[in-house]
Every structure is written in C-alpha cells, then in structure tokens.
C-alpha cells in the first residue's frame, strides 16, 4: 500500500513538501491528500495542482509509504520532521531532505542536495547516489553548530564538504569519498568514510569519531597520535586495520576527546606516526 505523487511537469522553481509526511497524511482519503497545500516558489497551491496523486493511504503513520516520482530534483524538505513510515524518492532531491527527522525511513534513489538529514534526531536515510555539503550537519552560520543527534545516514556514493558539521550523535556512513572537513565542530557520534577524504578531518572536534579508510593528504597538527589498533567496530561494522588513532582537536579543546581514525595501509605516508609511538615506548 503506497501513495504515489508524480511531478510530471518541471515547475522551474522549488517545491516544498514538508507537509507530505506519513505523520500528516495517515488516515486521509485521496481527496483530502489532494487538498493539502505546498509551496511552489512563492505560491501556495493544492497538492493536486502540481502532482498526480495515486494509490492508497494507510491508517497508521508506521504503515504509510509515500513515493515521489517525476521532476523530483525540484523537491525540498522531503521527509522533514517525519517520525514513522517510509518515503521513497525515485530520482534526485533538493536541499534539506530528512531535516529534523525523528523516525521512519527515507530512501533517495539519486543525488541528495545540501544539508541532507540536518539536525536529525532518529530514523534512517539511505541515498543510492551522492550527497552535497553538510550531511547530517547544522545550519550554515549557526553558532554553536548543532547537527544531528541520532539516527543513521547511509550514502552509497560520495559526499561534499563538512559532513557531520556540529554532529552530536548518530552515525553517518559514506561508501565513497568526501570533500574537506568531515566532523567539523563535531561533539559526538560516528562518521565512517570508506573512500578518500580531501583533508582537514575533525577540525574543531571536541568529541565523537571520524574514521577514514581511504587516503587522506595529512593530519591536522593539532591532533596527536594515541595508538595503533588492529581493528575496531564502527557503526555496527567491523573495520580491519592497522588503524592509526589520533586525539584532538587540541587547539579547540585541550581535553582532546575527539577521535580521528585513519587506515595505515592506505596512507603509507603517515607511517611516521606509528614510528613515533614505537620511539616513545623504547624511551620509556
């Protein structure tokens, strides 16, 4: 049982669909769903004026499934604040998908725009493509930055800059590579990057853990080598080493409660850090 919303014609402007979530439409008739309002650019119109509305709607939010089709790249705020049920996007999606999401599952079968899962509290977001900047992060310019607190985001492609900006909890798993500064101002949670990182990982972090399994150009000088691990478990996945474990960011917080973990095998240029540990052990 699913409700299918098809955007057949390109509206040329953003379409904000934050009202179209399982919590809001559960138990409604197709006629009632069609009469819901959405913003198309600066105009507020009925849902049926821009979407072809088909299918069925379950009685309980947890049983509701919504499928978006057509010119989905125009959609913004898909799944915002949803707490149950499922939303599937058959294509790309615009900014703020899954913003403040509390539960349920959001599946995107394409590219995801800026601030995917911003300030997320729970639930699961899965992207079968790449995502733009600030995945699971805070708003741009927000001080202090407060990103996602719970839930899981899985990206089967690459991600942009500032993944997990201000992150407090939850998990972000990137199957591909990411741009600069993952874990910027991070306070908690886990970021697992299975591909490469463009650099500056963990800048200003005071907690949490960033794991890079691919290559990384260098480690910020405000991080200190702590140990070498043969393996570890991250976001429910066992990661084989050897793994260099750094603590930091010392310039931002002298407690150095953040953890940056990097694969030694894929970063032979960082072997000197392992040698530093061995040197300290010999001197002691």
Give 10-residue mean pLDDT values along the chain (284 residues).
94 97 98 97 97 97 98 99 99 99 99 99 99 97 94 99 98 99 98 99 98 99 97 96 98 95 98 84 54
Residues 6+ apart with CB under 8 A from 48: 34, 35
Here the tokens at position 240 are: 């084989």
* Inside any domain, residue 99: no
The answer to whether residue 269 is domain-embedded is: yes
Q: How far apart are alpha carbons 109 and 148 in whole angstroms? A: 22
Residue 203 is assigned to a structural domain of this protein: yes
Closest CA relative to residue 148, chosen from 162, 135, 160, 137: 137
Q: Does residue 178 sit within a domain?
A: yes
Residue 184 is assigned to a structural domain of this protein: yes
Give the count of domains, the chain: 1
| Residue 105 backbone phi and psi in degrees, to 5 | -135, 135
pLDDT value at residue 98:
99
Whether 132 maps to a domain, the answer reads: no
pLDDT at res. 283: 56
Measured CA to CA, the distance from residue 157 to residue 234 in angstroms comes to 19
Domain-embedded: residue 167: yes
Structural tokens at position 230:
């043969």
Residue 53 CB neighbours (<10 A): 19
Q: How many CB atoms lie within 10 A of CB 40?
A: 17
Q: What are phi and psi of 33, to 5 degrees?
A: -65, -40
Contact 234, 209 (CB under 8 A): yes
Per-residue pLDDT, 281: 57
Q: Rounded distance, CA 224 to CA 232, Å?
A: 19
Residue 231: give the domain boundaries: 144-284
Identify the pLDDT of residue 279. 65
Decide: 53 and 47 in contact? Cβ < 8 Å. yes
pLDDT of amino acid 277: 86
Report if residue 180 sits inside a domain: yes
- The answer to pTM > 0.95 is yes
């Amino acid at each position: 049982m699913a409700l299918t919303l098809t955007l057949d014609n390109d509206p040329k402007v953003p379409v904000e669909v934050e009202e179209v979530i399982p919590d809001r439409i559960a138990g409604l008739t197709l006629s009632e769903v069609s009469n819901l309002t959405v913003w198309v650019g600066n105009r507020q119109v009925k849902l049926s004026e821009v979407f072809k509305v088909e299918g069925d709607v379950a009685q309980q939010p947890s049983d509701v499934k919504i499928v978006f089709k057509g010119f989905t790249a125009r959609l913004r705020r898909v799944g915002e604040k949803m707490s149950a049920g499922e939303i599937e996007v058959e294509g790309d999606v615009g900014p703020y998908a899954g913003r403040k999401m509390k539960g349920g599952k959001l599946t995107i079968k394409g590219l995801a725009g800026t601030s995917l899962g911003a300030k997320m509290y729970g639930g699961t977001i899965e992207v079968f493509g790449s995502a733009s900047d600030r995945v699971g992060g805070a708003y741009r310019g927000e001080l202090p930055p407060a990103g996602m607190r719970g839930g899981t985001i899985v990206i089967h492609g690459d991600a942009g800059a500032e993944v997990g900006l201000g992150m407090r909890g939850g998990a972000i798993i990137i199957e591909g590579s990411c741009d600069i500064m993952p874990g910027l101002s991070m306070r908690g949670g886990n970021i697992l990057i299975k591909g490469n990182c463009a650099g500056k990982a963990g800048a200003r972090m005071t907690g949490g853990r960033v794991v890079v399994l691919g290559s990384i150009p260098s480690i910020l000088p405000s991080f200190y080598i702590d140990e070498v691990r043969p393996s570890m478990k991250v976001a429910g996945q066992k990661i084989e080493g050897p793994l260099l474990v750094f603590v930091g960011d010392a310039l931002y917080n002298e407690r150095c409660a953040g953890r940056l973990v990097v694969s030694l095998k894929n970063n032979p240029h960082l072997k000197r850090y392992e040698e530093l540990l061995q040197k300290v052990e010999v001197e002691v």
